[in-house]
């Protein structure tokens, strides 16, 4: 009869084997060639377009060119094309930023969490885009092996980190924002581990709604009344909602309102400048919308929306916080995002991961996300995940504002 190893020894052997494979993966080249540039214009446009064909708008050059030109203060971009045998494998978007405890919500913590946050000051290499939510780090070229693309991303991050030694090599490497069910084996073998974040709130749009009145008709009476009352309250306050096509003319107003909302956010990794939204409007054309709330000649709120294939993104929003306490400006902007998504002809509306309760009242449901992180020093990974766990995270409430289907 064969002798069975104790369970503890089996688990220990499996753990050691995983460490060995991880060590080998971190020291094994992917076999790709890399073109790495601080500006997208320095890479071959046709190769990038081939690699990113059919993928998210946030990985297309028309968006990335605008992002590159209007990069937030303190953000350095790295754009990468990985190829093998002269064929593109992947296109990648990365950002180098310095984060500290205050920007990561430390001022809202107490006790040990506050102590740790006050000592947080690190240069971070982020695969993805801190101005969006969702998986916008990697475009796998048509026909390329996805595992090879992820391995290439890991190698690109290693190469960039090593190239930054003189400027201060990033201590933390992060890949954002993957669905929680995504578990890319190459990232695990490279020592990355998943840390849950706030979810994306997504509203599925029924094609039968056919506009704003159709959406209202689908709501249960209580929620339909809330929506109608929110719209009516602004009308009574003399606030009108109207489209804006010349964002440059009101860029200072939009930026002021954006900053007022961001100042109240728990996590504020980066801040865009006043030229960012006008640049997006010019670059994205019919795939971009901006609507403003005006009281007289004063702009008191705004919302932008972006069409990314079949998904509408309820993007940047801004409003006067004091006025919002008197009048439901934020709710009106959220309801208007539903209208804009239907104007786009989209089937989904992604509203991001803040203000989960109001978005749940619209009918949006949580889609869990995670970031994958590792420290440059393998031994410090044991401390990194608990520290990231101090960043505020919220569970989305369960709401069903729609009528029961017969």
Tens of pLDDT, residue by residue over 297-336, are 999 999 999 999 999 999 999 999 999 999 999 999 999 9
Shared domain for 235 and 191, answered yes or no, is no
CA distance 162 to 148: 21
71 within some domain: yes
Stronger pLDDT, 386 or 343, i.e. the higher one: 343
List the structure tokens of 31.
Answer: 């076999």
CA distance 79 to 43: 8
Query: In 3D, which of 180, 179, 125, 123 has the Cα closest to residue 153?
Result: 125
Stronger pLDDT, 19 or 255, i.e. the higher one: 255
406 within some domain: no
Residue 34, pLDDT above cutoff 90: yes
Q: Provide CB contacts within 8 A for 299, sequence distance 6+.
A: 250, 253, 254, 257, 292, 293
Q: Provide the number of structural domains found in the chain.
A: 2
CA distance 76 to 98: 10
135 within some domain: yes
Say what the pTM is. 0.86
List the structure tokens of 293.
Answer: 């709330």
Stronger pLDDT, 39 or 19, i.e. the higher one: 39
117 within some domain: yes
Shared domain for 151 and 290, answered yes or no, is no
Supply the pLDDT for residue 379. 54
Residue with tokens 């995983």: 18
Strands 200-204 and 193-196, bridge-based pairing: unpaired
Supply the pLDDT for residue 106. 45
C-alpha 330: how far from chain center:
21
Tens of pLDDT, residue by residue over 267-279, are 667 899 999 999 9
Q: Provide CB contacts within 8 A for 144, sequence distance 6+.
A: 87, 88, 89, 90
Contact 98, 124 (CB under 8 A): yes
Supply the pLDDT for residue 150. 96
**What are the phi and psi torsion angles at 162 (to 5°)?**
-65, -35
Shared domain for 175 and 102, answered yes or no, is yes
CA distance 97 to 126: 8
Query: Considering the chain, what percentage of its residues have pLDDT values greater than 90?
Result: 70
CA distance 101 to 92: 28
Tens of pLDDT, residue by residue over 355-406, are 999 999 999 999 999 999 998 766 556 555 555 555 556 788 889 999 987 4
CA distance 32 to 210: 48
139 within some domain: yes
Residue with tokens 């890399």: 34
129 within some domain: yes
Contact 146, 178 (CB under 8 A): no
Shared domain for 234 and 97, answered yes or no, is no
Shared domain for 18 and 157, answered yes or no, is yes
Tens of pLDDT, residue by residue over 137-167, are 999 999 999 999 999 999 999 999 999 988 7
Supply the pLDDT for residue 1. 47
Task: Among 38-47, 143-152, 222-231, 383-392, name the one with the lowest average pLDDT.
Answer: 383-392
CATH number at residue 257: 3.40.630.30
pLDDT class of 171 with cuts at 50, 70, 90: confident
Shared domain for 52 and 174, answered yes or no, is yes
Shared domain for 58 and 194, answered yes or no, is yes
Burial class (CB in 10 A: 0-12, 13-18, 19+), 280: buried
**What are the phi and psi torsion angles at 106 (to 5°)?**
-65, -30
Task: Among 5-9, 20-24, 210-214, 360-364, name the one with the lowest average pLDDT.
Answer: 20-24
Half-sphere exposure of 188 (CA within 13 A, CB side): 9
Shared domain for 303 and 215, answered yes or no, is yes
**What are the phi and psi torsion angles at 96 (to 5°)?**
-105, 125
Which residue range forms the structural domain that includes residue 378? Answer: 9-198+369-388
Shared domain for 167 and 263, answered yes or no, is no
Supply the pLDDT for residue 263. 86
Supply the pLDDT for residue 118. 46
C-alpha 341: how far from chain center:
18
Q: What is the largest CA-CA distance in the chain?
A: 88
Supply the pLDDT for residue 109. 47
Shared domain for 222 and 337, answered yes or no, is yes
CA distance 343 to 89: 35
Strand partners, 90: 82, 140
Shared domain for 183 and 209, answered yes or no, is no
CA distance 352 to 354: 6
Supply the pLDDT for residue 116. 46
Shared domain for 83 and 192, answered yes or no, is yes
Taking phi over 0 as left and psi of -120 to 50 as alpha, with beta for the rest, 345 belongs to left
227 within some domain: yes
Query: In 3D, which of 267, 245, 252 has the Cα closest to residue 390?
Result: 267
Give the dihedral sign, CA 127/130/133/139. Answer: negative
Q: Please state the rounded mean pLDDT for residues 331-345.
A: 97
Query: In 3D, which of 314, 321, 198 has the Cα closest to residue 259?
Result: 321
CA distance 171 to 176: 16
Tens of pLDDT, residue by residue over 89-137, are 999 999 999 876 555 444 444 554 444 444 456 789 999 999 999 999 9
Mean pLDDT of the chain: 88
1 within some domain: no
pLDDT class of 43 with cuts at 50, 70, 90: very high
Task: Among 46-55, 137-146, 163-172, name the one with the lowest average pLDDT.
Answer: 163-172
């Amino acid at each position: 009869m064969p002798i069975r190893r104790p369970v503890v020894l089996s688990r220990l052997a499996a753990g050691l084997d995983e460490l060995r494979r991880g060590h080998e993966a971190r020291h094994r080249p992917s076999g790709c060639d890399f073109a790495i540039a601080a500006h997208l214009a320095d890479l071959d446009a046709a190769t990038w377009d081939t690699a990113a064909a059919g993928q998210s708008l946030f990985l297309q050059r028309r968006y990335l060119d605008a992002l590159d030109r209007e990069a937030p203060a303190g953000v350095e971009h790295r754009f990468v094309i990985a190829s093998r045998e002269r064929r593109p494998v992947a296109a990648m978007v990365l950002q180098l930023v310095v984060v500290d405890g205050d920007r990561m919500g430390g001022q809202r913590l107490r006790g040990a969490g506050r102590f740790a946050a006050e000592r947080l000051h690190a240069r971070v290499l982020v695969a993805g885009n801190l101005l969006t939510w969702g998986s916008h780090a990697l475009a796998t070229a048509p026909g390329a092996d996805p595992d090879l693309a992820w391995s290439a991303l890991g190698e690109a991050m290693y190469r960039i980190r090593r190239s930054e030694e003189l400027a201060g090599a990033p201590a933390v490497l992060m890949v954002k924002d993957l669905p929680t069910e995504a578990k890319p084996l190459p990232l695990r073998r490279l020592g990355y581990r998943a840390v849950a974040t706030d979810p994306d709130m997504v509203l599925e749009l029924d094609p039968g709604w056919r506009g704003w009145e159709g959406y209202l008709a689908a709501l249960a009476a209580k929620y339909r009344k809330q929506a109608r009352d929110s719209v009516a309250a602004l009308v009574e306050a003399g606030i009108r909602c109207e489209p804006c096509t010349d964002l440059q003319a009101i860029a200072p107003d939009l930026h002021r309102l954006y900053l007022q909302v961001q100042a109240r956010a728990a996590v504020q990794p980066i801040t865009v400048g006043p030229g960012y939204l006008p640049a997006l409007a010019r670059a994205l054309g019919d795939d971009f919308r901006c609507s403003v709330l005006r009281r007289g000649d004063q702009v008191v709120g705004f919302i932008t929306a972006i069409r990314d294939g079949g998904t509408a993104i309820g993007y940047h929003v801004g409003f006067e916080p004091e006025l919002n306490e008197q009048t439901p400006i934020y709710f009106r902007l959220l309801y208007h995002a539903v209208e804009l998504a239907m104007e786009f002809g989209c089937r989904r509306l992604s509203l991001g991961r803040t203000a989960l309760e109001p978005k749940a009242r619209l009918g949006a449901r949580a889609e869990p996300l995670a970031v994958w992180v590792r420290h440059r020093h393998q031994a410090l990974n044991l401390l990194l995940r608990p520290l990231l766990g101090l960043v505020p995270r919220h569970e989305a409430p369960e709401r069903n504002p729609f009528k029961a289907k017969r």
